[in-house]
């Protein structure tokens, strides 16, 4: 069964512990792996944990076979340093000039470059995608921890996501969710 907003709402509702932000990824990672493997049976998934020098640690599920990101997650921070544009310029673009090098974890919440970049429609990157990015940045600025994840959904073996899913889960169990078409 495909993952959707209802899947996350059920997991959050069923959670009985004291640290949903820290503990929920233990339930989410196997779910994401199984969902991805169902349509990508040759997947070679690895978890990569990266702590940028000036930001929080984020984790990524990456498929080594087509060399693409599957999901990124972590607890965002409020950061104000400038991004390294030279690092971004070396990342390939997919599609055509309608696409940006989109950050899964926004620069303003501590996301880096390299593994954190995917081809993203420019109109999405500077439009609807920013709604939840602004929410997690605002929460981080107020020192309120939240679990934020961005999952890419592919329709073929390319590095171009067909859809990009965002979700914010707060300690209060409030869930903010969006899924965006990226084609």
Point out which residues pair with 75 in neighbouring strands.
Answer: none
Smallest CA-to-CA distance from 70 within 132, 3, 1, 168 is with 3
Three-state SS for 179? strand
Rounded Cα–Cα distance for residues 106 and 129 (Å): 10
Quickly count: other Cβ atoms within 10 Å of residue 2's Cβ. Answer: 8
Q: Where are the alpha helices (DSSP H) in the chain?
A: 5-14, 20-23, 25-39, 85-89, 122-125, 129-141
pLDDT at 15 over 90: yes
Q: Which domain holds residue 124?
A: 5-181
Distance, C-alpha 25 to centroid of its chain: 12
Non-local (6+) Cβ contacts of 12 within 8 A are 20, 24, 169, 173, 175
d(CA 115, CA 141): 25
Instruction: Note the pLDDT tens digit of each residue in 55-68.
Output: 789 999 999 999 99
Query: Confidence class of residue 174 from pLDDT cuts 50, 70 and 90?
Result: very high
CATH of the domain at 47: 3.40.570.10
Q: Which pLDDT tens digit goes with each residue over 144-173?
A: 999 999 999 999 999 999 999 999 999 999
Q: Assess whether pLDDT exceeds 60 at residue 90.
A: no
pLDDT over threshold 80, residue 81? no
- The DSSP symbol for 65 reads T
> How many other CB atoms are found less than 10 A from the CB of residue 131?
11
- Return the pLDDT at 119: 93
Question: What is the number of domains present in the chain?
Answer: 1
């Amino acid at each position: 069964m495909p993952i959707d907003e209802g899947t996350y709402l059920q997991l959050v509702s069923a959670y009985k512990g004291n640290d949903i932000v820290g503990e929920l990824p233990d339930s989410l990672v196997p779910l994401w792996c199984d969902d991805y493997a169902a349509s990508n049976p040759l997947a070679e998934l690895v978890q990569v944990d990266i702590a940028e020098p000036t930001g929080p640690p984020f984790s990524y599920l990456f498929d080594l076979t087509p060399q693409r990101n599957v999901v990124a997650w972590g607890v965002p921070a409020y950061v104000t340093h400038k991004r390294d544009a030279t690092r971004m310029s070396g990342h390939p673009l997919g599609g055509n000039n309608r696409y940006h090098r989109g950050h899964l974890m926004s620069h303003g919440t501590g996301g880096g470059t390299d593994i954190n970049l995917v081809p993203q429609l420019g109109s999405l990157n500077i439009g609807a995608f920013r709604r939840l990015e602004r929410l997690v940045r605002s929460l981080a600025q107020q020192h309120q921890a939240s679990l934020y994840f961005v999952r890419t959904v592919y329709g073929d073996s390319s590095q171009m996501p067909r859809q990009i899913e965002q979700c914010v889960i707060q300690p209060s169990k409030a869930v903010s969710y969006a899924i965006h078409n990226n084609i």
